[in-house]
Amino acid sequence: MERIIFYIIAFIIIVFAMASVSSRKMLRSVIYLLFVLCGIAGIYFLIDYNFLAAIQLTVYAGGIIVLIIFSVLLVHHIEMELEMAKPLRKILTALLCMLGLGVFLYTIYNNHFNVVDNQVTTTTADIGSKLLSYDAGGFILPFEVVSVLLLAAMVGAIVIAKGKKLTDNNDTEL
Amino acid sequence: MNIALNITQTFQDWLVGFMPEGAASITAMVIVAVIYLMIFAVAGLYLVLLERRVAAWFQLRLGPNRVGFQGLLQTMADALKLVSKELTGTDRADKFLYNLAPYFVIITSLMALGIFPFTQGFQAFDINIGIFFLIAISSIGVIGILLAGWSSNNKFALIGAMRSGVQTISYELSIGLSLLTMVLLTGSLQLSEIVETQKHGWLIVQGHVPAIIAFMIYMIAGTAETNRAPFDMVEAESELGAGFHTEYSGMKFAYFFLAEFINMFIIACIATTVFFGAWLSPFGITESLPWLGVFWFLLKALILVFLMMWFRWTFPRLRIDQLLSLEWKYLLPINLINIMLMAFLVWQKLTIQF
């Protein structure tokens, strides 16, 4: 049963990944990309890792895809189509893709995977206590570093977006 | 799979009696899906009727009262009419995305409906990340609206869709943070466990002041998230025609329309589960009759739905800049302070528990 579902999801992911790069309409390829990301979330659900699946849905499907759709909506008209690449370029890209795929398959088939018989569902409580633990195997330092980084990014974004007003008008108006 | 006692399991056990296990689990899934689909359709239709009657009551009219007793069959008749209507579309629309968009909206609200504990054991999927799953799902619904607006090849629809995107992304923050405030009290995201903690008093009582603030923020943000008045910038009739679904007709329009009402019901259901003890009766008066839980759940949810309808027919529509400054300059800072206040209460054990 789970094997069948896995193959269905894998098939969906591969088909839509190819459709996404080969579609000539920009928004359609974004939607195909959305299906790919949802398929990956489906695989996380299948291995019973619900938290990561929900993260995948919120961050990638709900966040990044919506941002991409927004930018497409702003710049793209419905009748525009992406132009076809030159034949030489197509062949070159195809060769590079085949090479990359070959390297991947070679590593996957030659790597010995450690099969762990894991029946435990990771709960959010486990993840939370690991994130904030000081002991060995805890993630408090990266957690704090990432939060400072995000804060810096947010302040930077606001400064760039507000730009002029912050520097020029402060003295005169206030 | 980690599925606790729920209706899928009950059906599966019953079906295993006369068919192999693999077929039984698939049949059980199909039956549960059909049940939820029926709940979806019937609830949607009757919420539309309720909205019309409530609107009539607020405006001192009678409302639909001719088809069936007190107009009970009115929306059924409307649905039949919509099925028989021609499906039209704009000439140079992107047909694939145009037809896909309503399903995004419908499927996301249907998926959200599946995880509510209507009563003890009446829950299709008791996932251990409950609330987080709801937030994740609701962030996908907006894609349907954006697609509908863009692929209609209509300027009004596009503007409506853009507004919807901005609005939903902003107000999702408030919904998430206000629910997070309540999660501090429960210590779990799983909906059945949230109900379990409320046996010592509903969360809005347990968390008193910050819980009430969180509830108010949640209701404001929830109304905005479902694109209802006073936040219906998306389909502001006076400016945009009908917003993102201007070009949709017949059943495709009905999908958007039903999904809007189901989303309102979902917002009310989340509030019922998180703030008002889901299927628990007040003071435990009907604790010995678990099936009455459905009654209590629906009663609480419908009172909240009525509250949202009350908003709709009372307040005038906001401007888009007012809408955004309400979220980013008021609700978000209040919410962040509220979370700290709630954390302080939980730390100092100042919560009220019976």
Record: contact A54-B142, CB cut-off 8 A: no
Bridge partner residues of B122 (DSSP): B119
Tens-place pLDDT, residues B299-311: 999 999 999 988 8
The residue behind tokens 């996957």 is A108
Residue B93 DSSP one-character state = S
Residue A174 pLDDT > 70: no
* Highest mean pLDDT (candidates A78-87, A112-121, B206-215): B206-215
Q: Where are the domains of chain B?
A: 88-347
The contacts of residue A109 (CB under 8 Å, 6+ apart) are none
Residue B199 DSSP one-character state = G
Mean predicted lDDT score pLDDT of chain B: 83
Please report, rounded to a whole number, the percentage of residues in chain B having pLDDT higher than 90.
12
Mean pLDDT for the stretch of residues B9-36: 77
Residue B1 pLDDT > 70: no
Residue in chain A lying closest to B133 (CA): A54
SS3 for B13?
Answer: helix
Residue B112 pLDDT > 70: yes
The residue behind tokens 């190819």 is A18
Record: contact A51-B135, CB cut-off 8 A: no
Give the per-residue pLDDT at B5: 45
Record: contact B94-A78, CB cut-off 8 A: yes
Residue B248 pLDDT > 80: yes
Handedness of CA B76, B77, B79, B83 (dihedral sign): positive
> Using CA atoms, how far apart are residues B151 and A3, in angstroms rounded to an integer?
37
pLDDT band of B282, cuts 50, 70, 90: confident
- Shortest CB distance from A57 goes to which of B136, B161, B165? B136
- Shortest CB distance from A69 goes to which of B2, B143, B189? B143
* A20 burial level (CB within 10 Å; 0-12, 13-18, 19+): middle
Residue A169 pLDDT > 70: no
Give the per-residue pLDDT at A165: 59
Mean pLDDT for the stretch of residues A16-25: 88
> Using CA atoms, how far apart are residues B349 and B354, in angstroms rounded to an integer?
13
Give the per-residue pLDDT at B3: 41
Distances (CA, A) of A55 to A2, A40, B70, B109, B130: 22, 11, 47, 18, 13
Mean pLDDT for the stretch of residues B230-240: 75
Chain A residues whose beta carbon lies within 8 Å of the beta carbon of residue B169: 66
Residue B180 pLDDT > 50: yes
A17 to chain B, any CB pair closer than 8 A? The answer is no
- b/e code B245-262 from CB counts within 10 Å (16+ = b): bbbbeeebbbbbbbbbbb
Residue A167 pLDDT > 60: no
B29 to chain A, any CB pair closer than 8 A? The answer is no
> Using CA atoms, how far apart are residues B101 and B253, in angstroms rounded to an integer?
11
Contact in structure between B278 and B272 (CB atoms under 8 Å): yes
Give the per-residue pLDDT at A106: 93
Q: A108 or B244: whose pLDDT is higher?
A: A108
SS3 for B61?
Answer: coil
Chain A residues whose beta carbon lies within 8 Å of the beta carbon of residue B162: 70, 73
SS3 content of chain B, % helix, strand, coil (to 5): 75, 0, 25
pLDDT band of A13, cuts 50, 70, 90: very high
